[in-house]
Copies of this chain bind each other. A is one copy, B any other.
Amino acid sequence: MLKNLMPNDHWIAHYNKDFLKSDFSAGLIVAIMLIPQAMAYSMLAGLPPVIGLYASTIPLIIYALLGSSRQLAVGPVAMVSLLVFSGVSTLAEPGSDQFIAYALLLSLMVGAIQLSMGLFRLGFIVNFLSHAVISGFTSAAALIIGFSQLKHLLGIKLEGGKNVFLLLFDAFQKIGIINWITFAIGIGSIIVLIYFKKKFPKFPAPLLVVVGSTLVVYFFNLEERGVSIIREVPGGLPAFSLPAFSVDSITALLPIALTISFVGFMESIAVAKTIASKEKYKVDSNQELTGLGAANIVGSFFSASPVTGGFSRTAVNYQAGAKSGLASIITALLIMLTLLFFTDLFYYLPNAVLAAIIMVAVFGLIDVKEAKHLFRIKQSDGWVLVITFFATLLTSIEAGILIGAGASLLLFIWRSAYPHTAELGYIEEEDIFKNVDRYENAKMFKDTLVFRIDASLYFANLAFLEERLRKEISDKDAVNRVVLDFSGVNAIDAVAIDELEKLIDEYKEAGIEFHLAHVKGPVMDLLKRAGWKEKYGEKIEYLTLHQALQPSRGSFHVS
Contact = CB atoms under 8 A, between A and B. Distances in A.
B543 A438 contact: no
A529 B494 contact: no
B526 A378 contact: yes
Interface string A418-431: 01101000000010
Given A127-B464, A487-B487, A412 B413 contact: yes
A490 B530 contact: no
A460 B506 contact: no
Nearest to A374: B494
Given A413-B409, A417-B127, A430-B543, A459 B377 contact: no
A459 B407 CA distance: 13
Contacts of A373: 494, 498
A420 B495 contact: no
A455 B377 contact: no
B432 A378 contact: no
Contact of A420 (B409, B419, B491): B491
A539 interface: no
A132 B459 contact: yes
Interface in A360-379: 373-374, 376-378
A21 interface: no
A420 to B, nearest CB: 5
Given A412-B460, A463-B127, A543-B432, A454 B491 contact: yes
Contact of A378 (B374, B493, B520, B543): B493
A244 B49 CA distance: 60
Contacts of A417: 124, 127-128
Contacts of A438: 521
A255 interface: no
Contacts of A422: 521
A408 interface: yes
A522 interface: yes
A440 B102 CA distance: 62
A456 interface: yes
A381 interface: yes
Interface in A470-524: 487-488, 490-491, 493-495, 497-499, 506, 518, 520-522
A131 interface: yes
Nearest to A280: B510
Given A132-B494, A459-B131, A493-B378, A420 B529 contact: no
Contact of A490 (B124, B434, B488): B488
A544 interface: yes
A535 to B, nearest CB: 14
Nearest to A463: B127
Nearest to A435: B521
A346 interface: no
A412 B416 contact: yes
A543 B435 CA distance: 12
B521 A458 contact: no
A493 B127 contact: no
A488 B373 CA distance: 26
Nearest to A132: B495
Contacts of A498: 131, 373
A111 B547 CA distance: 53
A454 B277 contact: no
A415 interface: yes
Contact of A522 (B412, B420, B458): B420
Contacts of A488: 487-488, 490, 520
A130 interface: yes
B413 A494 contact: no
Nearest to A430: B543
Contacts of A412: 413, 416, 458, 460, 493
A430 B131 CA distance: 43
Nearest to A408: B459
A432 B518 CA distance: 11
A455 B454 CA distance: 10
Given A127-B463, A522-B420, A376 B435 contact: no
A463 B378 CA distance: 20
Given A413-B413, A520-B420, A460 B493 contact: no
Contact of A377 (B419, B530, B544): B530
Interface string A394-416: 00000000000000110011011
A557 to B, nearest CB: 19
Contacts of A409: 413, 460
21 contacts: A128-B413, A129-B459, A130-B493, A131-B459, A132-B459, A373-B494, A373-B498, A374-B495, A376-B530, A378-B526, A381-B493, A412-B413, A412-B460, A412-B493, A413-B413, A430-B543, A432-B543, A432-B544, A438-B521, A456-B456, A490-B490
Given A376-B530, A412-B493, 9 more contacts: A127-B464, A373-B494, A377-B526, A378-B526, A420-B490, A435-B521, A454-B520, A455-B490, A456-B490
The 9 closest A-B pairs by CB, nearest first: A130-B459, A454-B490, A377-B494, A381-B494, A378-B494, A131-B495, A487-B487, A127-B463, A374-B494
